[in-house]
Amino acid sequence: MSKLTPTPGQTVGPFYGYALPFTKDNELLAPGTPGSIRLQGTVYDGAGHPIPDAILEIWQPDAEGNVVQRTGSLVRDGYTFTGWGRSAVGNTGIFTFTTVNPGPTSEGSAPFISVAVFARGLMNRLFTRIYLPENEEALANDPLLGSLPEERRKTLIARRDPDGGLSWDLRLQGPDETVFLDFQGTATGTGAYR
């Protein structure tokens, strides 16, 4: 149980572009590496328009389901999989990562990629997950997915592309609004996220 009150977040603003991105930030593996896949999608606002000033981070286990604790994300050597990457969207709201399919962290669990999203106009970062579309049984048994109605559940499951990559769009608002996660429960006060 927390004893100290957390510092509030604030919007990332419009000017992160010369600060947060770095060389190969979205390449968790060098493109073309055996086993590497492309993860891509578009960030949309409540009017269904792409957001040109959002930045995403992904954090995931490796292909065997191990949580990696290796340094080197900011200065990539092209060989070490650190599990973390960052991608600012382009003018059309599209983000791209080169990564691997995450493995299940325990037998039978549904593999997923953890996501944090930041944007101008978004007051505080939001968390969500990207599940792999395969293994229906694992998806059916996943505690988070199981707690969601079908039309919301699907916002967390990626589509498999013909080239083996993953496509997954993020919608900050609207009828197909992505499910965003609150990990703190009521500890931060029920009114904190209205």
Binding pattern to another protein, positions 96-115, x when CB under 8 A? ------x--xx--x--x-x-
Judged by CB under 8 A, the stretch of 34-42, 117-125, 133-141, 159-167 that binds another protein is: 117-125
Q: Which helix (H) or strand (E) holds 131?
A: strand 126-131
The answer to whether residue 120 forms part of the interface with another protein (CB under 8 A) is: yes
Cross-strand partners of 166: 39, 160
Instruction: Count CA within 13 A, CB hemisphere, residue 122.
Output: 23
Q: Give least dist CB 160 to another protein, A.
A: 21
Site for another protein in 21-40 (CB under 8 A): none
| Closest among 20, 1, 5, 3 to 125, alpha carbons compared | 20
| Closest among 28, 32, 3 to 100, alpha carbons compared | 28
Closer residue to another protein in complex, CB, 22/35:
22
Q: Rounded to whole angstroms, how far apart are CA atoms 37 and 111?
A: 15
Binding pattern to another protein, positions 133-162, x when CB under 8 A? ----------xx--xx---x----------
